[in-house]
Structures are given as C-alpha cells and as structure tokens.
Amino acid sequence: MASEPGEQAAGKTSPPAQDNTPLAVDDNAVPQDDDDVDSTIGFDNTSDTTSLSSSILAYRQENGRTYHAYKDGVYVLPNDETENERLDLQHNLLLLTFDGKLHCAPLDKPFHRVLDAGCGTGIWSIDFADEHPECQVTGIDLSPIQPPFVPPNVSFYVDDLEDDWTFSTKFDFIFSRFMTGSIRNWPRYLKQCYEFLEPGGTLELVDIIYPLISDDGTLKEEHPARKWSVLLQEGFAAGGHPLTTALYYKDWLKDAGFVDVVKVKEKWPVNAWARDPKYKQVGMWVYENSMQVLEPLSLAIFTRPKSEGGLGWNLEELQLLLAGVRKDFKNLGIHMYSPVYSVYAKKPE
C-alpha cells in the first residue's frame, strides 16, 4: 500500500490521519478471564529515592492512592508502587510494539547527551544508558519515583517540563513518551525541545490516542468501553490535556521548524482478538496494562470536582461503569484498539 512521504505503515486517511488498515481477526480466539492473562508478566521496581525535600515527597492522598506533590494535580495518574510496576510493564509492552526498539528514530550521527522528557520510573533512561554507555542521559519527571541506584551515566531530576527550561547544555536526542494528557501547551513544549536540541539533533514523540475505536464496527457507541473512553477524552480535554494530540504531532513539528518528519503508526488491540501473532501477543499485554490502569486513570478524571478539572462523578457511579468496561475488555468479539504513534524529526543542521 502506498503511503505519503515521511509516513510509515500508513493507510489512506483523511486529516487528521489515522491508520484505517484493519487487523485480521482470529476467529478461533477463546475468551480470556483474569486468570488467563500471562501470569509471568511481572517487574520489580524500587520507588524510593534519596536527598529530596519533604515537600516533594509529601504525596497527595486520594481514593487510597498517592499522587505527586510537586505541581499537585498536573498529572492525573498515581505515583505509588502499584502504578510504578504498571509503568514498567507498559515500557515492555512498547518494546514489543516497536519490535524491541527503544526508539524508532535512527540516530545516525554521534550523540552524547540525551533527555528523557517525562521519564516516569526511569526505565527507558536506564535501558538507553546501558545500551549507550558513552552518552549522558538526563531524566525529568514530576515525581521522584526513580530507583536510587542507576548507571553512572544517568541523572534524574524533579521538574515541570511546561516551565521554562533551564538546562545548561543542549541535547543530541530528546525522547518524549506518553506525554499526551500531561502537556497543555504543545507548541511551547515543542519550541523548547527545538531550542534545547543541538543542530542536527533528533526529537521523538510516542503517544496513544483516545477514544477507543474499531475498524469493523464491533465497538458500539453503547458499549461501556466506548462510553468510558469518550468521557475520559472529554475530561482530559476539559482540563486542557486532550488525548488526541498525537494526530497533530507531524504538523506541529513542521510548524516548530523541524525537518525530516516521519510518523510510525501502530495499534494496541485491547485483548487477544487479532490473528497476527505479534498483535495477539501485544493484545494480551495491552489487556493486562488496561485492566491495571483502568481504575487509576479514571479516578481523578471522573471523581474530582469540575472546579479541579474532573467530571464530578461519585465513586459508585464510576465503579458501575468500570464493571462494564472490564467486561468489554474481556470480550474477544469486540475488536477495539487504541492507535499508538511514534513521530520523529530533526532540527536542521
């Protein structure tokens, strides 16, 4: 199938573009219960750190989960150990999605300084630093949840990437993953990425798109999973963080002055309904990731008052909706998925 220049795995679409090439359905797929998901998926991650002020470590407590204290409320997911383990699972899911690669962008020139923007648990920073011991990796996040013992070429800092950047040096590669839902002012964010890249440096953005969709109409508007994902997107958008930003990255990068912009399109089936062995495995991991993130992703958006950017639901209403969503997630007859994009570009020499 022909694709537009600078686009990979792309089908013919209308702007803003999404890949509408459907995944083949496995007609022999057997419905899975919670116990059927690969039980070997498990990761050990240390969530403590040292030498941090008490104000940063005084996490917000809400619905039995903890949230970052620095810039309270900017990021809606928890920062506790349960969430940290899920983030590490998600990192491995992304490796599977992109065929084992830590990044899609080709780094075809010497690089010495790398920024992991929104580093989470730091697992990408650490993996990249292990692969490239000759370069220095800097990870930035709102939460100090990175492990205390890391390779000598990794440094982590707590900061808000929407503030003015004050780095004393520029970077050869900036990696920004799953920042949709966190960044309000994308043009400004990309302008700062451009400013702090060396000439010829590379920026890569990796993100998911909501609401959930299907190519064959098996996901209906009345399905709880569809209703939930539409409401989730509406809640994020009302707070200034729409979950559709990846649709616009290619154009925004060009507007910011980047060149050689390439978009790589992938899909995350929400369970094992796909026929292709890769996407069947991806779907199993997505199912596990989705079941783990469903409640924490929903709690803040649905139950915080509208004055704080939430939808103002009570907890009982939300739990009733989520019960239906979980049932849909298990249903192999609903061929739902999320688009996942990697978009990368260069700063001109």
**Selection from 87, 14, 17, 79 nearest residue 48 by Cα:** 79
Q: Is 9 domain-assigned?
A: no
Mean of all residue pLDDT scores within the chain: 85
pLDDT over 80 at 71, yes or no: no
Q: Give the confidence band of 64 by pLDDT, cuts at 50, 70, 90.
A: low
Burial string for 70-107 (b: 16+ CB within 10 Å, else e) reads: beeebbbbbbbeebbbbbbbbbebbeebbeeebbbbeb
Q: Give the three-state DSSP class for 129.
A: helix
Check if the beta carbon of residue 177 is closer than 8 Å to that of residue 208. no
Rounded CA gap, 334 and 286, in Å?
14
- Domain of residue 167 covers 34-211+242-269+337-346
Answer yes or no: is 310 within a domain. Answer: no
- What does the pLDDT read at residue 77? 59
Tell me what pLDDT residue 82 has.
81
Q: How far is CA 276 from CA 3, 40, 47, 215, 328, in A?
A: 22, 21, 36, 16, 21
> Quick check: 165 and 78 in contact, CB under 8 A?
no
Tokens of 296: 């924490």
Cα-atom radius of gyration of the chain, to the nearest Å?
20
Q: How many folded domains does the chain comprise?
A: 1
Taking 80 as the threshold, does the pLDDT of residue 68 lie above it?
A: no
* 299 in a structural domain: no
The string of pLDDT tens digits covering residues 294-340 is 998 999 899 989 888 889 999 999 999 999 999 999 999 999 999 99
Classify residue 234: in a domain, yes or no. no
Looking up residue 158, the CATH number of its domain turns out to be 3.40.50.150
What sign for the dihedral angle of Cα 30, 36, 41, 47? Answer: positive
In a domain, 279, yes or no: no
Is residue 121 predicted with pLDDT exceeding 80? yes
Is 53 part of any domain? Answer: yes
Q: What angle do CA 63, 68, 70 make, to 5 degrees?
A: 140
Does residue 154 form part of some domain?
yes
Res 39 pLDDT > 90? no
Residue in this structure with the two tokens 């915080």, named with its chain if needed:
304
Residue 261 lies in a domain: yes
Q: Percent of the chain, pLDDT > 90?
A: 68
Q: Kindly indicate the confidence band of residue 66, based on its pLDDT and cuts at 50, 70 and 90.
A: low
**Residue 240 above 50 pLDDT?**
yes
What's the CA gap between 293 and 65, in Å, rounded? 12
Is residue 210 classed exposed, middle or buried when 0-12, 13-18 and 19+ CB atoms within 10 A define those classes? buried
Amino acid identity of residue 67, one-letter, is Y
